[in-house]
């Protein structure tokens, strides 16, 4: 079922505008090319409206903020919203500083995101700190485990219903939810946490999957998460003695590049709750 989502990305080659952080921008571009999409990067306020207008989707990542990039996020986001484009928010480090938290909350107040992807701490911060999500119970554990899974699933569904956005919580167990269903995904490797930017790459890839699969947004978002996790498994299986996290990063991108629908369907590990 999920395999058709990546095949659609390769057929349609969606152009994705990324306002992302300077730590991972190159890897974000490369993983979009690897999955079949096409990347374009711009965070200049005078440039972003024109750039986002020619794209099918907008990926906003708050990992390295400045006044100019924040203005660019709002300008591009409002233009994408007006055009009916896919918009994804990656609230990197929300909760770690007042600027990151208020920036994410401010964006959520003005822009309805197609999907929001982050770790459990970032997503909890948005649930507690955003006026659009008042009343949502964010009293869930700081890690999604088998013991906390039921509560985490209900939290993800509730937040999705409150925001009107797909909610993707990534970690040892990944959750991708709308207001009614939640994919519980168990692909990936713990070693992926030793690489800077796997989450940033995933948010960009999720944007491409959503653009290419407009009739099945929940499945598209889940397919992107499974693709990244499975690529982590495949990449790790090909590591050689003496290789480290730099090689592993490349092997993950290579695994995405070589992923097809059949491989994804065979390797995806998920249940729907």
φ/ψ of 193, rounded to 5, equals -70, -10
Contact of 120 with 143, CB cutoff 8 Å: yes
DSSP 39: E
46-50, 72-76, 132-136, 247-251: the lowest-pLDDT one: 132-136
- Is CATH 3.40.630.30 correct for 3-272? no
Q: Is 137's pLDDT higher than 50?
A: no
Q: Is 140's pLDDT higher than 70?
A: no
Length of the chain: 273
pTM for the model: 0.95
Burial 231-255 (b: 16+ CB within 10 A, else e): bbbbbbeeeeeeeeeeebbebbbbb
The share of the chain scoring above pLDDT 70, in percent, equals 95
Please tell me the predicted confidence (pLDDT) of residue 136: 42
Give CA–CA dist 230/250, Å, rounded. 14
């Amino acid at each position: 079922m999920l395999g058709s989502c990546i095949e659609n990305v390769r057929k349609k080659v969606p152009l994705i505008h990324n306002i992302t952080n300077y730590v991972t921008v190159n890897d974000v571009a490369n993983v979009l090319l690897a999955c079949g999409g096409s990347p374009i990067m711009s965070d200049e306020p005078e440039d972003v409206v024109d750039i986002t207008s020619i794209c099918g989707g907008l990926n906003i990542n708050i990992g390295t903020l400045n006044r100019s990039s924040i203005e660019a996020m709002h300008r591009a986001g409002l233009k994408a919203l007006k055009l009916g484009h896919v918009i994804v928010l990656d609230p990197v480090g929300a909760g770690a500083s007042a600027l990151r938290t208020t920036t994410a909350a401010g964006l959520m107040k003005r822009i309805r995101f197609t999907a929001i992807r982050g770790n459990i701490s970032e997503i909890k911060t948005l649930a507690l700190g955003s006026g659009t999500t008042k009343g949502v119970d964010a009293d869930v554990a700081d890690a999604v485990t088998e013991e906390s899974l039921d509560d985490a699933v209900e939290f993800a569904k509730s937040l999705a219903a409150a925001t009107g956005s797909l909610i993707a919580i990534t970690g040892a167990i990944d959750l991708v939810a709308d207001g009614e269903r939640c994919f519980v995904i168990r692909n990936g490797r713990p070693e992926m946490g030793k690489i800077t930017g796997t989450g940033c790459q995933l948010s960009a890839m999720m944007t491409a999957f959503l653009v290419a699969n407009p009739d099945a947004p929940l499945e598209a978002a889940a397919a992107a998460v499974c693709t990244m996790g499975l690529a982590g498994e495949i990449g790790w299986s090909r590591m050689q003695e003496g290789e480290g996290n730099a090689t592993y990063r490349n092997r993950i991108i290579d695994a995405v590049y070589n992923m097809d629908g059949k491989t994804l369907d065979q390797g995806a590990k998920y249940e729907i709750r």
